[in-house]
Amino acid sequence: MKPDSGESGARRPARAGGELLRFVIVGVTSAVAYSLLAAAVVRLGLAPAYLSGLVLFGLFVPATFLAHKHFTFRSTRLLRSAFAGYALLQILCYSLVSSVSTRLLTGTYRLDAALYFATVGTAAAASFLIGKLFIFRPAPGRRDGDTL
């Protein structure tokens, strides 16, 4: 078993940098696709903004989880609870950004944009660290039924 295979938990600094870059790629791609689809659904009158946001969020969480599992962190075996933990993390991050960006608006474009991007950046950093340390780390042991 190689020390950086993802199965032993040991990681070299170069790999961690690659994970961060892949995390950003997946996150930005997911956010842009989500935004474009939500805007299209609302503009075409297929669903109200709130409903389309909920439905697309429900579709994007599993897809983004799989992208992070296979591309970002290249995990082979995860705990069965990994997806539930990831979904909860995404709900919390989305709630944080939504709460801050709707309740702390100043009415000044630059200040509001700075607040929004600072909140998104904080949520993304927390998501990366929690994902790396807890959700996407390799599952210990080889008991059947405990891993994805």
pLDDT in tens, 47-78: 999 999 999 999 999 999 999 999 999 998 99
121 HSE (CA, 13 A, CB side): 6
Look at residue 140 and give its three-state secondary structure: coil
pLDDT number for residue 132: 96
User: Closest by alpha carbon to 19, among 8, 30, 4, 1?
Assistant: 4
26 phi, psi to nearest 5 deg: -65, -45
**pLDDT tens figures, 119-130:** 999 999 999 999
> Percentage helix, strand, coil, to 5, in the chain?
70, 0, 30
